[in-house]
């Protein structure tokens, strides 16, 4: 749960990247690290097994100050997606304020996505986190592969649930910043509603997003054709 240090005017948010094995959670964090790296000087803490898969978790710490002098710390975690690491996933989810669910867009991965999503709901419940209280966004990753759900299908799925949905190709960075921005946005709104951060610290939602945007830089265009890629 959000850690608020009133004396030092610090707010620490915990954001977790969740999803089935090999859906691209660590890749999302690596891309964010690349985006933020120069400005925050933060290191991506990552523990990989021999075959490059996450064993425990990855952690990307970010910190910045808002105009009101509030220090914001964001701790971004990933969980290991493999089914056998259920206990680690539950522990990493403890006290999470927001979750980005990274789904694999391929139709063959439908079952893994559904199973992982059910696993997320169960683990949140086990950690006494109310589904309605926590911010959740969904990313359909690997949009560049063959055999994926069409954009129309993704829109249909998005319409079914209330969670914001993003498309991405995390490997080349497309959609990663948008997903993170959406996650931070939704998380702040939920926390604002619950803890009244604006009243306590005088920091508005707009100010929080402005600071974040200043560090994210311009977002990649929504059109995946690649125009305006900075080439």
Residue 107 sits in the site that holds other proteins (CB under 8 A): yes
CB 28 within 8 A of CB 87: no
Closest to other proteins by CB, 165 or 203: 165
Interface residue with other proteins, options 34, 121, 210, 215 (CB under 8 A): 121
126 touches other proteins by CB under 8 A: no
Q: Which is nearer to other proteins, 56 or 77 (CB)?
A: 56
- Going 160 to 162 to 168 to 170, the CA torsion angle's sign is negative
Report which DSSP code applies to 138: E
Q: How far apart are CA 204 and CA 66, in angstroms?
A: 9
Q: Is 47 in the site for other proteins (CB under 8 A)?
A: no
From 34, 111, 194, 215, residue interacting with other proteins (rule: CB under 8 A): 111
Are 9 and 70 a contacting pair, CB within 8 Å? yes
State the minimum distance, in angstroms, from the CB of residue 32 to other proteins: 24
Q: Are strands 54-65 and 71-78 parallel, antiparallel or unpaired?
A: antiparallel
65 forms part of the interface with other proteins (CB under 8 A) = no
Site string for other proteins, 136-165 (x = CB under 8 A): -------------x---x---x--xx----
Does residue 114 bind other proteins (CB under 8 A)? yes
CA dist 231 to 54, 176, 184, 220, 228, Å?
Answer: 33, 19, 28, 12, 7
């Amino acid at each position: 749960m959000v850690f608020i240090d009133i004396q030092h005017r610090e707010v620490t948010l915990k954001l977790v990247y969740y999803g089935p094995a090999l859906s691209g959670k660590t890749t999302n964090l690596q891309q964010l690290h690349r985006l933020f790296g120069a400005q925050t000087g933060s290191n991506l803490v990552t523990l990989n097994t021999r075959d490059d898969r996450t064993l425990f978790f990855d952690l990307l710490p970010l910190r910045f100050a808002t105009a009101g002098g509030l220090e914001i710390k964001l701790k971004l975690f990933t969980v290991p997606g493999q089914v056998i690491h259920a206990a680690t996933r539950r522990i990493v989810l403890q006290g999470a304020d927001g979750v980005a669910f990274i789904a694999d867009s391929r139709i063959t991965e439908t079952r893994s996505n559904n199973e992982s999503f059910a696993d997320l709901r169960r683990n949140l419940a086990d950690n006494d986190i109310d589904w309605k209280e926590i911010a959740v966004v969904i990313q359909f990753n690997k949009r560049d592969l063959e055999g994926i759900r069409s954009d129309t299908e993704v829109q249909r799925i998005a319409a079914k649930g209330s969670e914001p949905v993003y498309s991405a190709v995390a490997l080349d960075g497309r959609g990663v910043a948008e997903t993170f921005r959406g996650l931070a946005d939704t998380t702040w709104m939920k926390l604002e509603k619950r803890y009244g951060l604006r009243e306590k610290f005088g920091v508005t939602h707009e100010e929080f997003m402005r600071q974040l945007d200043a560090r994210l830089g311009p977002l990649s265009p929504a059109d995946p054709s690649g125009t305006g890629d900075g080439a």
